Structure 1
């Protein structure tokens, strides 16, 4: 049986091939695939039929996609839960699937990953000599940089500040007078 192109789009076979090419590069959410098919001119009906078939074949599974995305982005990119939640929303993952995937990262995992990021960044920073007259000001600049780095990666301000203070203490910086209130 030869498929005829539908009005304003391609065939189901062409849509399936397009999806398989996209999935060969990386896992994708159903929403991402629907969007790409729409950009390529496939009708919503053709896209729905193809995506339903791919879902039955377990090639499109938003819950599995969300788990894989969270694991990968947390482990390799150092993303915090807030950033991962935003990313999953933009990928069209349901709140239920996103919450289930984000639950695989507990507070201790997130704190450990944040500490690793700060430790890595501290290797390239020069911590000020506590006896230097501008030591406090220089230390505060470093703290702002590190807290900002963690915030951009989706870590809460409280966690970021706690991790930075702890890592600077460990590195020998003077943080006794530091409460973070003057970082604003």
Structure 2
């Protein structure tokens, strides 16, 4: 015999569910909102739970953004654009994402990260320098680096005799 499961959508049950989610990993306000609504909680109840989490200092988008940015930079070398897009996907506002990324990721650090990636990215045998530069630029762009950073990296690659500087794009 199948047992029916009854969900009681009370504030306390929602609070416990939100705490469970936050116990797994830190989340943004939008992530909690989406999870509670997906679970079946009303908008009013969801707002009440989120306000309660904020009052208890368990939900802070600014702190989440700083932690997420530091985590991503420690585990993967990515550029400013990629970090901002990831924060936006987590529900962080564009202005807050810009502020956090600008604070954590300076131009010098971003250039160093791109340079480290470029050193790992080798030219294939019988590959033209032009083709290699295109591949490297595309790779760095996919990682979220800006065109100005990519240009500086290509010049640095040429200066270190990794490619012929006359063939730069």
Query: TM-score, normalized by length of structure 2?
Result: 0.84
Aligned equivalent of 1:39: 38
The aligned residue for residue 116 of structure 2 is: 116
Number of positions where the alignment pairs a residue of Structure 1 with one of Structure 2: 162
Distance of 1:70 and 1:27 partners within structure 2 = 13
Q: Flag the structure with higher helix content.
A: 2
Distance (Å, rounded) in 2 between the aligned partners of 1:49 and 1:143: 53
Q: 1:138 aligns with which of 117, 124, 128?
A: 128
1:168 positional shift: 4.9
- My pick for the range that moved more, 103-112 or 20-29, is 20-29
Equivalent in the alignment of 1:12? 11
Gaps of 5+ in 1: 1-7, 129-133
For 2:4, the equivalent position in structure 1 comes to none
**What secondary structure is seen at the aligned counterpart in 1 of 2:108?**
helix
Shift in Å, 1:177: 0.8
Is 2:29–2:59's contact at 8 Å kept on the other side of the alignment? yes
- Moved >6 Å (runs of 4+): none
**Mapping of residues 88-127 of structure 1, within 5 Å:** 88-104=87-103, 105-122=105-122, 125-126=123-124
- In structure 2, C-alpha distance between the alignment counterparts of 1:75 and 1:118, rounded to whole Å: 18
Partner of 2:25: 26
CA contact (8 A) 1:15 1:42 kept: yes
Is the counterpart of residue 150 in structure 1 residue 149 in structure 2?
A: no
Confirm whether residue 179 of structure 1 aligns to residue 168 of structure 2. yes
Cα distance per residue 1:65-119 (max 9 Å; x no partner): 1111122223322221111112222222123322221122111011011111222
Change (3 A) 1:33 1:179: same
Structure 2: which 5+ runs fail to align?
Answer: 1-6
